[in-house]
Structure 1
Amino acid sequence: MSVGLVVVSHSRALADAAVELARQMLPGRELAIAVAAGTEDGGLGTDAAAVADAVGQADSGDGVVVLMDLGSAVLSAETALEFLDDDVRSRVTLSPAPLVEGLVGAVVLASTGASREQVAAEAERGLAPKQAHLA
């Protein structure tokens, strides 16, 4: 088992592209990454129930790190926590990490069997290489 990841975005295309990029870091390896993005009719938006469902898909028992794009995605993720059983909720970390950079780092570390706390910390360091380069 390993920590699962959930991507919450207003755009399904954006979320799918971020996941595709991150999966490129895992040649030949599998990792649970679920997406809650866009509206049922293909529009832009987020849905707390979809986020809760995605957490359930990604959770293997080792926990889940949730990465969000902006604004109401954060609110939807927070609301989704209310839909979860207490034991599941206790295994979920909502990450303030940047979506793309955080997801790539989180995927790499999660694939090694790292803990939820370690994966979340790696996601938060997502901007560090770019910041150091541009400083």
Structure 2
Amino acid sequence: MSVGVVVVSHSRALADAAVELARQMLPGRELAIEVAAGMDDGSLGTDAVAVSEAITAADSGEGVVVLMDLGSAVLSAETALELLDDEVRERVLLSAAPLVEGLVGAVVVAAGGAGRDQVAAEAARGLAPKEAQLR
């Protein structure tokens, strides 16, 4: 069992592409990465119920790190926490990490067996390499 990861985005295409990129870092390894993105009709948006369902699906008991793209995705993720059982909610960490860079780092360390807090810390460091290169 490992920490699960959830991607919350306004765009299903964006979320799927970010997950595809991150999975390229995991050749031959499996990891629970769930997506809650876009609306049922294909339009842009986020849905707290879909986020809570994605968290539940990603949760193996080791914790879940949730990465979000824009402001209302954060609101949907916060609302989703209220929809979860207390036991599950305690294992979830909402991350302020950049979506793509944070996701790649998070999945690599999660697949390596890191705990929830380590996964979240790696996600939060997502911009450091780019920032260092551009100085």
Q: Percent of aligned positions with the same letter in both sequences? A: 81
Q: Which runs of 5+ in 1 are unaligned?
A: none
Cα shift at 1:6: 0.1
Q: How does 1:84-95 map to 2 (within 5 A)?
A: 84-95=84-95
How many residues get paired?
135
Cα shift at 1:80: 0.2
Q: Specify the alignment match of 2:65 in structure 1.
A: 65
Cα shift at 1:115: 0.4
SS in 1 for 2:62: coil
Q: Specify the alignment match of 2:123 in structure 1.
A: 123
Mapped to 2, the partners of 1:126 and 1:86 lie a distance apart of 29
Cα shift at 1:105: 0.1
Q: Specify the alignment match of 2:55 in structure 1.
A: 55
Q: Taking structure 1 as the reference length, what is the TM-score of the superposition?
A: 1.00
Q: Specify the alignment match of 1:77 in structure 2.
A: 77
Cα shift at 1:113: 0.7
Show CA shifts across 1:56-93 (max 9, x none): 11000000000000010000000000000001000000
Show CA shifts across 1:12-63 (max 9, x none): 0000000000000000110000000000000000000000000011000000
Q: How does 1:1-16 map to 2 (within 5 A)?
A: 1-16=1-16
Q: Which runs of 5+ in 2 are unaligned?
A: none
SS in 2 for 1:26: coil
| Root mean square deviation of aligned Cα | 0.3
